[in-house]
Amino acid sequence: MSEARIYGVAWLQVPGVGPVLLRRIQSHFGDLGVAWRVGAAALAEVEGIGMLSAERIVEERSHIQPEQLYERYSRQNANFWSMGEPDYPQILQEIPDPPVLLHYQGQVEALQGPGVAIVGTRSPSEYGKRWARRLAAALSKAGFTIISGLAAGIDSIAHTACLAAGGRTIAVLGCGVDVIYPPENRQLYHEILETGLVVSEYSQGTLPMRATFPQRNRIIAGLSRAVLIIEAPQKSGALITAYVANDYGREVYALPGNLDNPKAMGCLGLISRGAQLILGEGHLLEMLGRLPQLDQDADPEPTSPSLPEHLLPVWQAVAEESTSFDRIIQSSQMNTDEVNSALLQLELMGLITQLPGMFYQRL
């Protein structure tokens, strides 16, 4: 029972202390337990807290018994991380308003590897459905974790296509992790739990409300290194995710659509404001390969996969940054035909990708 867990639960009971302010408190004091015990003068040094607010926080805090509160809370919520704990997803610590508590069910291993969000309208066209499936499958096979919101439409299609491709997927809910919404996604919810993860900042039993979904969307963006918008009308929750992702410094990609399709107008608007254009699976994988953030948690010297002897020298010659064909021949000490054949096999295995100009890169 760590202090971060005890005091994460306790701080949530203090009126007026939300995720942004609590993130500042944690950054200022380095520990939520330490912050709980300081006086008003010390709290007033935190950005966004004046002396009057600090005195009010201290007064509210005096009515809370953290240990007793935690015991009651943990009986109803068995699985959760608190901001500041070692197991709390590091990528969420990067954003200014991370959830104080993140509840989960399923396989925590799904958090490994770079995450890409796929979101969009609840009533997509056949075009949107087709491209959501194609992109989710391609990204899953390339080792990306697919993140979405378990909503009807694009979200559900992305989760389903990822599972069908044998990939990892994370569903971020706008309700408790034990509440299935929409109800028709019951089977998909249970399939995700088998190999993926369901997360929420809301305690178990919390029902979905209109206000919880925009809050949920910031977690989708926060867990992702890039966000893909497939189809979205001009007023759409998916656009909220895109705007928040942009504020967080995540890359935003949008699927171009038909001007006659109202569900494409949100994507076209994003593209006009600088979102990256999706031109197909290969193009998207190439663009994602250029994101430096995607490799930040990778081993500098990755373990070689189990490969036939004739493929291993070529795989070792391809760096994580783009590598020219001539450099691969020189490093592998193999002839042109052998290298060509090996590169094709490695590409089909999802281990490398070809870039423009006869350059190659590890996935």
Question: What is the domain-level CATH number for residue 218?
Answer: 3.40.50.450
Mean pLDDT of all residues in 179-202: 97
Domain end point (choices 38, 69, 99): 99
Choose the weakest-confidence range: 115-119, 127-131, 186-190, 313-317. 313-317
d(CA 57, CA 40): 8
pLDDT for residue 295 = 45
pLDDT for residue 290 = 58
| Same domain flag for 60 and 135 | no
In percent, how much of the chain has pLDDT > 90? 68
In this predicted model, what pLDDT tens digit does every residue of 137-147 receive, in sequence order? 999 999 999 99
Domain end point (choices 99, 122, 142): 99
pLDDT for residue 354 = 82
How many Å is the Cα radius of gyration of the chain? Answer: 23
In this predicted model, what pLDDT tens digit does every residue of 209-232 receive, in sequence order? 988 999 999 999 999 999 999 999
d(CA 125, CA 61): 51
| Same domain flag for 148 and 288 | yes
Cβ neighbors of 54 (< 8 A, separation 6 or more) are 40, 41, 43, 44
Burial 196-226 (b: 16+ CB within 10 A, else e): bbbbbbbbbebebeeebbebbbbbbbbbbbb
| Same domain flag for 82 and 112 | no
Residue 340 has pLDDT above 50, yes or no: yes
pLDDT for residue 301 = 43
Phi, psi of 18 (to 5 degrees): -100, -175
pLDDT for residue 134 = 96
Comparing C-alpha atoms, which of 107, 110, 128 is closest to residue 119?
Answer: 128
Is 305 a member of any domain?
no
Which CATH number does the domain housing residue 89 bear?
1.10.150.20
d(CA 317, CA 328): 5
Residue 323 has pLDDT above 90, yes or no: no
| Same domain flag for 238 and 340 | no
Is 187 a member of any domain?
yes
Which CATH number does the domain housing residue 350 bear?
1.10.10.10
Is 301 a member of any domain?
no
Is 299 a member of any domain?
no
d(CA 271, CA 278): 10
pTM for the model stands at: 0.77
How many domains does the chain fold into?
3
Comparing C-alpha atoms, which of 227, 213, 297 is closest to residue 255?
Answer: 227
pLDDT for residue 236 = 87
Mean pLDDT of all residues in 64-73: 95
In percent, how much of the chain has pLDDT > 70? 94
Domain end point (choices 99, 120, 148): 99
| Same domain flag for 30 and 47 | yes
What distance separates the 2 farthest-apart alpha carbons in the chain? 76
In this predicted model, what pLDDT tens digit does every residue of 98-120 receive, in sequence order? 999 999 999 999 998 899 999 99
Burial class for 243, CB neighbours closer than 10 Å (0-12, 13-18, 19+): middle
Is 251 a member of any domain?
yes
Phi, psi of 45 (to 5 degrees): -80, -15
Comparing C-alpha atoms, which of 271, 270, 276 is closest to residue 288?
Answer: 276
pLDDT for residue 294 = 46
Burial 75-112 (b: 16+ CB within 10 A, else e): eebeebbbbbbeebbebbeebebbbbbbbbbbbeebbe
| Same domain flag for 242 and 119 | yes
Choose the weakest-confidence range: 49-58, 99-108, 113-122, 350-359. 350-359
| Same domain flag for 146 and 236 | yes
Query: Which residues form the domain of 336?
Result: 312-362
| Same domain flag for 161 and 197 | yes
d(CA 312, CA 234): 49
